Amino acid sequence: MPGRRTIGVDMGGSKLLAGAVDIGLSVHHRTQRTLAGLDQSELLDIAVDAVQEIRELAGEEVAGVGFGIPSLIDQRTGRAVIAVNLPLRDVDFADVMTERLGLPVFVDNDANMAALAEHRAGAAIGCSEAVILTIGTGIGGGLILRGELYRGAIGSGAELGHTVIDMDGPPCQGNCPNRGCVEAMASGTALAREAARLARERPASGLARALAEGHALAGPLVTELAYDGDEAAIEVIALIGTRLGVAISSFVNIFNPEVVVIGGGVMAAGDLLLEPARATVMERALPPSKDTVRIVTAEFGVEAGMIGAAALAFDHIGASQP
């Protein structure tokens, strides 16, 4: 084995998570960085700094680094073509990181890496057909088809978050030119937007009180208020879950998956989000696919992308898989 550890790095729309991972996909060290408000140069510097920190903490031989980044990737070159929610455009990401880190670097889409982790050892283990969605600042998608990670013709497939569910819906965020994408309608960003709207409409709600106190109505606070019984917060999460269910219905009809795995920070809402999604799938998807599919929470949670990126590095350096 060329090394006892690889480093996995998951770059999301607002934060970076890195860790040292062993061949059994156990995480030994972790670090996190905030990515909001950075330009491309600063973003690359932050990524290098995080990897160097983990490399020092690991204390073992590190064989390589895997990156999951929220970007369309041209797998022929390792180039990050464009990211919707980060300042990455036309950068030879793998080459740049290899040069700066002095280690073999491998790169793929962040949601693909979450899919790899969940299929390798998580909620989709043993499944030949699976859909994986990661819900945070945006919505990433990954596909397992016939037991393999599906990347498309050149590596930029499975952008499920940019499936349109309302052609006249709000503009999608970041660099996406579309309207009404599921990312625009059901992401953590959309949840915050809908929470602010409902707070204004329901001045007696917990959402309104939180807003008046100067709190940002982001996912964690909305989820906390919902669990505390605030009807407006419950309604917001149910709305996001219903919209998510509309998208999942199409994925169920198209791919006939055994399981749809939902991960990312928004999944702290648990069944408050998933039950409306499941109900919508039962109303909208076609039998028999809707009757056999399971819609479940990711087992690796917010660490799925990081663990999958480390597994990608193990794959490329030739280490046997668990």
Structure tokens at 255: 């791919």
CA angle (24 as vertex; 23, 29 as ends), nearest 5 = 80
Residue 173 in domain: yes
pTM reported for the whole predicted model: 0.90
Look at residue 129 in the predicted model and tell me its pLDDT.
98
Same domain, 109 and 180: no
Contacting residues for 1 by C-beta, under 8 A, at least 6 apart: 23, 63, 319, 320
Same domain, 12 and 100: yes
Considering only CA atoms, which of 21, 31, 29 is closest in space to residue 63? 21
CA distance 17 to 284: 36
Residue 70 in domain: yes
Look at residue 161 in the predicted model and tell me its pLDDT.
95
Same domain, 33 and 110: yes
Look at residue 215 in the predicted model and tell me its pLDDT.
94
Same domain, 51 and 35: yes
CA distance 143 to 194: 29
What confidence tens digit (pLDDT) does each residue in 206-250 have?
999 999 999 999 999 999 999 999 999 999 999 999 999 999 999
CA angle (303 as vertex; 298, 307 as ends), nearest 5 = 100
Residue 301 is classified by DSSP as: G
Contacting residues for 80 by C-beta, under 8 A, at least 6 apart: 69, 71, 72, 73, 88, 89, 90, 91, 92, 93, 107
Packing angle of the helix pair 271-284, 219-227 (nearest 10 deg): 90
CA distance 79 to 110: 14
Residue with tokens 């693909």: 112
Structure tokens at 120: 């390798």
Contacting residues for 44 by C-beta, under 8 A, at least 6 apart: 91, 96, 97, 100
Same domain, 85 and 200: no
What confidence tens digit (pLDDT) does each residue in 77-113 have?
878 888 877 888 888 999 999 999 999 999 999 999 9
Residue 51 in domain: yes
| DSSP states of 131-198 | EEEEESSSEEEEEEETTEEE--SSS----GGG-BS-TTSPBPSTT---BSBHHHHHSHHHHHHHHHHH
241-261 burial, b for 16+ CB within 10 Å, e for fewer?
Answer: bbbbbbbbbbbbeebbbbbbb
Q: What is the domain range of residue 54?
A: 5-115+302-317
N- to C-terminal Cα distance for the chain? 13
Residue 120 in domain: no
* CATH number of the structural domain spanning residue 198: 3.30.420.40
CA angle (22 as vertex; 258, 157 as ends), nearest 5 = 40
Same domain, 191 and 61: no
Look at residue 60 in the predicted model and tell me its pLDDT.
72
Count of the separate structural domains present in the chain: 2
Look at residue 1 in the predicted model and tell me its pLDDT.
45
Same domain, 203 and 180: yes
Residue 121 in domain: no
Same domain, 90 and 229: no
Amino acid at 237: I
CA distance 34 to 235: 29
Same domain, 286 and 312: no
10-residue stretch averages of pLDDT, the chain, 322 residues long: 80 91 93 90 94 90 92 83 83 93 94 96 97 93 96 90 96 92 96 96 96 94 96 97 98 98 92 98 98 96 94 82 42
* Burial label, 214 (beta-carbon count in 10 A; 0-12, 13-18, 19+): exposed
Same domain, 79 and 141: no
Same domain, 100 and 169: no
Same domain, 291 and 150: yes
